[in-house]
Structure 1
Amino acid sequence: MTTHDDQLATVAEIMKETRIAVLTYIAGDGSLVSTPMGNQDFEHPGTTWFLTERDTDKVRAIQADPRVNVSYASDAGWVSLTGTARVNDDRAKLEELWDASAGAFMTGGPEDPTNVLLQVDGATAEYWESPGKVVSAIELAKGLIGRSKPDLGDNDTVEL
């Protein structure tokens, strides 16, 4: 039987192996907008962090309606994290997460007040755990030739 801690560990593994996550938020006109965001380290999958500039349509939209979804995909599987986002001005956390790639996309450095954190507090995470590339290919081939329905891993939702 899979425990809540096992589920969280699976979600965390998939998230940590993802280089670029996709943040989806609600624009002022009600449309959904998705944007790639560099994945940052986290202590618990229930709270994730992204670096951004304060004066963006994304930040304004999130301040008006904080509901977001963040999707992660890696060889380990896929995660769809739902929750809320907010701007966080924690300079120490921004410095901790700042790296060379942030400098390539953002002006100034971690001390620049135009650079901020987006803190995403997750509520639930739906995940699909992949059995790996080779097993997935074999299972897909079995399904294509009609022997059986492919077993492409486990899918579940976990409360964060």
Structure 2
Amino acid sequence: MASDLKDMFWKRLDNVQAGLLSADSERPVPMAPQTDRDEKAIWFVTAKGSTAERAAKSGGDGRFDVADPKAGLYATIDGKLDLGSEDKLEEVWNAFAAAWFKDGKDDKDATLVKFTPHSAEVWATENSVSFLYEVAKANVTKQTASGGEHGRLAF
């Protein structure tokens, strides 16, 4: 089951538009993930001087929390932060990142952070129609609803 859940995790994470990234025990901030399953990494475009960038400079730990009903993914992901390269920044650059930097990917404040997951607790749920069916069925049958797949993953 863990390999199926891990597969489901990476596939659904591709559809997540934003989550909350935290590092160094500071407040979490909304960030748009760029997944790279082959590299087992999640990339974030951030500003130089941000908490994520400072933690990445020292190879610090981070946490990425996801609650995305459209993707059917809820997860708490712990991992390590490192700085990314200019080439990778060019590769993952998109309209979401461009909205935050005046001079686009050439903005002197734009930088890339690599998040390498160590572990995660994951809930992969059904789509909203299936979920509503489960809720209705549970109320009629007096049984608990199925919340989908749940488990802990190690990467």
Normalised by the size of structure 2, how large is the TM-score?
0.83
Alignment-derived partner of residue 13 in structure 2: 15
Partner of 1:132: 127
Partners of 2:115 and 2:76 lie apart in 1 by: 13
Match of 1:99 among 94, 98, 101: 94
Residues 78-109 of structure 1: per-residue CA shift (max 9 Å, x gap): 22211011222x11111111123222102323
State the one-letter code of the partner of 1:78. Answer: Y
Q: How many residues align?
A: 153
Corresponding position of 1:149:
144
CA shift in 2, pair 1:45/1:125, >3 Å:
farther
Cα deviation, 1:8-52, whole Å, max 9, x if unaligned, reads: 21111221111112112234xxxx411111122423473110001
CA separation of 1:130 and 1:95: change in aligned 2, threshold 3 A: same
SS of 1:140's equivalent? helix
The answer to whether the 8 A contact 1:70-1:82 is kept is: yes
Distance 1:101 1:149 in 2: 39
Q: Which amino acid aligns with 1:135?
A: S
Equivalent residue, structure 1, for 2:75: 79
Tell me: CA distance 1:93–1:58, structure 2 relative to 1, closer, same or farther (3 Å): closer
Structure 2: how far apart are the matches of 1:105 and 1:148?
47
| RMSD over aligned Cα atoms | 2.3
Unaligned runs of 5+ in 1: none
TM-score by length of 1: 0.81
| C-alpha deviation, 1:57, in angstroms | 4.2
More deviation, 9-18/57-66: 57-66
Percent identical: 20
Q: Aligned partner of 2:151: which letter?
A: D
- Is the Cα contact below 8 Å between 1:91 and 1:111 reproduced in 2? no
